[in-house]
Amino acid sequence: MGLDDLSADIEDTYSDLGEELAVDLDTETRNELAMLINAYDPDDPDELLRRAVHMLFQSAVETGNLDFHLRSGYDVTYDEYLSGMTFDEMTGAAGGVSDQYPPQDDNARRYQF
């Protein structure tokens, strides 16, 4: 699988979800949601569920968890998905251009931007 497969799967899933999503809640989730509704007093309880998805997504991006799962299933990262190009395509490695550079130690630039 690759970038094109991920893009197609996201588009398919997006259209399958539609505007509304019925979710069955277990006892623990219902209790936690009730607590949050009373604490935050939102105009619409659905807003808390939207926020929860945003928070989970942000956490998955920040911790690298999303990249781990995308790399495992699609062999791409979230940054590659956003750019529409794989790292190899960005650096020209897919066309053999990277052969002119010596291999780098993966840890040498790990924390450099």
Count of C-beta atoms within a 10 Å radius of residue 83? 14
Q: Are 34 and 26 in contact (CB under 8 A)?
A: no
- The type of residue at 53 is V
pTM comes to: 0.71
61-104 tens-digit pLDDT: 999 999 999 999 999 999 999 999 888 887 877 554 445 555 55
Q: Which residues of 7-36 are buried (b: 16+ CB within 10 A; e: fewer)?
A: eeeeeeeeeeeeeeeeeeeeeeeeeeeeeb
